[in-house]
Structure 1
Amino acid sequence: MFSKNKKYNIKLKTAFLMLLSVCIQATAQTNAWKPASFEIVKFNYKTFKTTQYAHIFSGSKHNIVRLAPELQGLTGIELPVTYENGANSTLQLKFKESVNILIGVFQDISTAEFTPLNSAKLLIENGLTVTGLPPMNVYSVSYAKGIQLINPVNRPFAILGVVKASEKLEFRNAKLPDGKLWNPTFIVEGFSDEKPLFEIIGGENKPVIDEGMSGTEGIQGGFEGGRVVKVGDTYHMFPTERAGEKGVDYYYDRVKTKIGHWTSKDAIHWKRESTIYQASGTYAVTEDDNPMNDRRAAIWSYMPVFNEKANKWYGYYLAYTVSKEIEPNHSFGRIWRCESTVEGINGIGGPYKDMGIIMEPGLDSQPWEGRQGVASFFPYQVGDKYFGFYSGAYPFNSWADYPKKSGKGWFVALAESKSLEGPWLRMNKGLEPIKTMHPQFVENPIVSQLPNGLYIAIFDGGPDGWGHHLPNMIAYSLSADGVNWAEAHYLPIETKVDKWWDIMRTPLCLIPEGNDVYTIVYNAIDLKRRFHPTGMVKVKLNKDVMESKLRELKK
């Protein structure tokens, strides 16, 4: 899992103060500018709503991740990033009144090179952050009533909206960050030129499990990771409970963990049934992977899988050695397999017995697995074979960096086996992680199949926090064969449910409910609080897009 050392509480407080500063700055000018209507003449340009996640260029993955509140909700025009051979060289707009067009220009472009800005007025410095691109300044350009020509040059710029000439426009520096920090760019479902595979159709506007609710007693830090499955009409959730210890600060929440078993009839109202496993919480006595250390100091990422052949539930989970002094404090992960002692599909609640370690650091490990690997595991069947996503984090450049000099990155690769019991072997000896999904961050993928046979992995897309500039959304990737995985798409669920979180974390399921509707249960973080709650959202599958994706991936 995403790890922090004992300075976690300091990082948390720092992040909160930064968030508070941004909020205070935003409230200084919270009113969005009033839009003016316009009509696009002659050329078939698309429009977009100027808001977070909007893809502002046609045929491009660059999207807005920060914007000044004055711009929120305006109607922009989707232009190409560059103009080649005079294509789309003239944009004609028709106005019913005098207006100001708001134009975004990247700071590394001189306004002298940009024809429409010769008489432009700088309004907002650092007013927009677009993934993978320099900071954007916002200018206003006045136009009279009637049909007007906007003549671009071969430089990327954005039309962010049109406002009435009477609107009071005042200069300020919004101090938004450089978009090049978000590297690479990424596709936000429903905001790009692609038709979305999933439509967010609703869900709960607040956590479904929160601090103080029945069953949360003794769980100081809330939840992160695990899996939800549905048996009959009952949902079964096996989350990592960040229990911690009374009187010990935040960082210990992720050391003394539990695997809980919760049930629900609607994925909203949950009841805690039992504790499946309890970590020891014992810190290591050496800094290396040494058998003197307690290798079950923290337990995470429990994945229940029903084995039809054995007619019982198997559980796969992660056990860590824990260091007080070295980041990440979770180190040298080992994947354990356990079995329910109760046969049949209804034996999901256990009790479970350990059957041994199926993956661990060893001679076939590679430096990219890092200090934290093996950091998660999820098995799935393809034909008569089984594959398993396993992960690594805090990579070493080479084994010369072992055990303390680790870098940043959260990666996955595949293991293979002839059975769920194993043995599990790293494919291609683990030489390279799978970077087609995302080159920097893929965490805790859970695999299932769509109705047409496409494999889908839903996973944690990475935080926009703690110094990391990542999508901060639930992600999915598709595969036609279960081995080769496509570029991730990200689900902006806050467009349809109230955003109660600052940092989105781990999806626990993608459960089909009939009529192409799926349930996603997820964990997320409110930076103002120690407790990490659990949420729920519903999405609807677009079958036409699903079929086009299958054709595309089979090429």
Structure 2
Amino acid sequence: MFSKNTKYNLKVKTVFLLMFSVCFQFSALAQNSGWTPSSFEIVKSNYKTFKTTQYAHVFSGSKNNIVRLAPDLQGLQGIQLPLEKYKSGTNTPLQLRFKEPVKVIVGIFQENNSEYLQSNKLENAKLVLKNGLTITGLPSVNVYALSFPKGKQTINPGNGLFAILGVIKDTQKLSFRNAELPDGKLWNPTFIVEGFSDEKPLFEIIGGENKAVVDEGMSGTEGIQGGFEGGRVVKVGDTYHMFPTERAGEIGVDYYYDRVKTRIGHWTSKDAIHWKRESTIYQASGTYAITEDDNPMNDRRAAIWSYMPVFNEKVNKWYGYYLAYTVSKTIEPNHSFGRIWRCESTIDGIDGIGGPYKDMGIIMEPGLDSEPWEGRQGVASFFPYKVGDKYFGFYSGAYPFNSWADYPKKTGKGWFVALAESKSLEGPWSRIKDGSNPIKTIHPFFVENPIVSQLPNGLYIAVFDGGPDGWGHHLPNMMAYSLSKDGKNWGEARYLPIETKVDKWWDIMRTPLCLIPEGNDVYTIVYAAIDLKKRFHPMGMVKVKLNKEVMESRLKELK
């Protein structure tokens, strides 16, 4: 699993966040909450407009999106310029018609490069926001106001890329300030946000709960200090069954122990909103290692994570696949040398999902067939799925070694997935060694906990954790999906901005536990996320609707 060691105490972090929140609110009150827009018409052009807000798709022919913006800009109407034409200077001049005198709000990239419009080329422009906008993959943005009279005007400040972020009334009073927003090149590579790109979205976010569905203090959460992380939710009949990793920890013990002293819980619900805890499936020991390497003297079940129930129709039983770690007090990551266990329900049939379960042994572990990219944390998750007459299994690694000479402590950064194969769910499972692992077509360095199912047209879909915008990382901070035609070759990730349709109660998005079909092309997703003001990590729920027309077009596009 992705290490959450932020290297500072949770209490200090909470105080900082509260102070930041108060300062931000005071700053927002001191500034205009937003500038007053003015209407305009685009003349002789088919350029689209966009609402200047988070995730806005600023340039056509690109994956660049807004991830930070000053509140002054919020809600303005920008114009989606063609990226490559403006970079190369082959664009035709943009003409706009105004009903009154206006100020056009323009974003200028702070890089001395011929691809970008240089600020010294602007005439009669006023710098109003320094570092006022962050666009993924692009340099820092200064925001200028350019005045224009009523009527048809040509917006052509010079060669190179710039962003038109809105048009406001000329009477709007503007004063300079530094918004201190980060450089967009920190978000590299750029990524596709579903519903905020040139393509139609596969899923429409249609709603869900505006707060966590399992949160601290609710029935069943007693004794769980740190809340939840990944696992799986399945639906049997009219009942949802959730098997989350419970970050139990111990009362009076530091929060970091929450992710060591873990257990696998079994929860049920009739609506994916109101949950009842049924039992504990597995409990980790929480015992720290006594050596730094992968040594049998260490307790190799010190932390247990990522329980994945799969029904085996052939034997009429539920199988469970889960991850057991060695843990360290002093080495980053503290979760090390993951091993994947398989267990079976002792009760036959589909209703045996609640167990009890018995262990059947380890199916994957570090060994002679491991590769350096699996790193100190691998094998870090596992999910099996059927393709034709055989099975593939996503397995993962993290904190990679550059070479085996770096073992056991000298690690890099990266959270990767790869495929193993087997003729049966029981195994044996073999790492695929054809050069395709790790799979970087989904994302070059961050994919966690993929869960695979099939869409109505046979496309395989994997939903997964897309990575945090936090702890020093600049990742999409959204759950994501990837598609495959054959179950082996996977396409580029698309990220789901669910906060555009439900209230964002979290700071950091983590792991989707399911994509459950409900009929009428509606799917349920239960997900884990983090509210940084809390030690307890809650669970949420959202509904999405599949666009079958887009699904068919994606099938044709995939190789």
- Per the TM superposition, whether the score is higher than 0.5 is yes
**Aligned with 1:104: secondary structure?**
strand
Provide the rounded CA distance (Å) in 2 between the counterparts of 1:113 and 1:443: 40
Shift of 1:440: 1.4
* 1:513 paired to 2:518: yes
Q: Is the 8 A contact 1:228 1:521 kept in 2?
A: yes
2:473 to 468, 478, 484: 468
* 1:105 paired to 2:108: yes
* 1:89 paired to 2:92: yes
For 1:128-277, list aligned pairs within 5 A.
128-151=133-156, 153-277=158-282
Match of 1:16 in 2: 17
Q: Is the 8 A contact 1:89 1:152 kept in 2?
A: no
Name the CA shift for 1:116/1:45 in 2 (closer, same or farther; >3 Å): farther
* 1:403 paired to 2:408: yes
Tell me which amino acid in the other structure corresponds to 1:216: T
* 1:3 paired to 2:6: no
Name the CA shift for 1:206/1:118 in 2 (closer, same or farther; >3 Å): same
Tell me which amino acid in the other structure corresponds to 2:127: L
* 1:341 paired to 2:346: yes
Match of 2:81 in 1: 79
* 1:124 paired to 2:125: no
Provide the rounded CA distance (Å) in 2 between the counterparts of 1:212 and 1:435: 40
* 1:41 paired to 2:43: yes
Shift of 1:168: 1.5
For 1:149-548, list aligned pairs within 5 A.
149-151=154-156, 153-428=158-433, 432-548=437-553
Deviations 1:463-494 (A, max 9, x none): 00000000000100000000000000000000
Shift of 1:55: 1.4
Tell me which amino acid in the other structure corresponds to 1:77: I
Deviations 1:139-191 (A, max 9, x none): 00001111101125441100000001111111100000111111100000001
Provide the rounded CA distance (Å) in 2 between the counterparts of 1:26 and 1:333: 46
**Aligned with 1:82: secondary structure?**
helix
Question: Under a length normalisation based on structure 2, what TM-score does the superposition of the two structures give?
Answer: 0.96
Q: Is the 8 A contact 1:413 1:430 kept in 2?
A: no
Name the CA shift for 1:112/1:351 in 2 (closer, same or farther; >3 Å): closer
Shift of 1:90: 1.1
Gaps of 5+ in 1: none
Name the CA shift for 1:8/1:412 in 2 (closer, same or farther; >3 Å): farther
Name the CA shift for 1:30/1:503 in 2 (closer, same or farther; >3 Å): farther
Q: Is the 8 A contact 1:223 1:533 kept in 2?
A: yes
Shift of 1:507: 0.3
Tell me which amino acid in the other structure corresponds to 1:107: Q
Deviations 1:53-91 (A, max 9, x none): 111001100111100010011100000223278654111
Question: Under a length normalisation based on structure 1, what TM-score does the superposition of the two structures give?
Answer: 0.97
Q: Is the 8 A contact 1:436 1:487 kept in 2?
A: yes
Shift of 1:34: 1.2
Shift of 1:315: 0.2
Name the CA shift for 1:353/1:113 in 2 (closer, same or farther; >3 Å): closer
Shift of 1:204: 0.2
**Aligned with 1:346: secondary structure?**
helix
**Aligned with 1:193: secondary structure?**
coil
Name the CA shift for 1:112/1:62 in 2 (closer, same or farther; >3 Å): closer
Provide the rounded CA distance (Å) in 2 between the counterparts of 1:428 and 1:152: 54
The farther-off stretch of 165-174 and 305-314 is 165-174
Tell me which amino acid in the other structure corresponds to 1:396: F
Shift of 1:50: 0.5
Name the CA shift for 1:508/1:113 in 2 (closer, same or farther; >3 Å): closer
Gaps of 5+ in 2: none
Provide the rounded CA distance (Å) in 2 between the counterparts of 1:14 and 1:49: 34
Q: Is the 8 A contact 1:115 1:151 kept in 2?
A: no
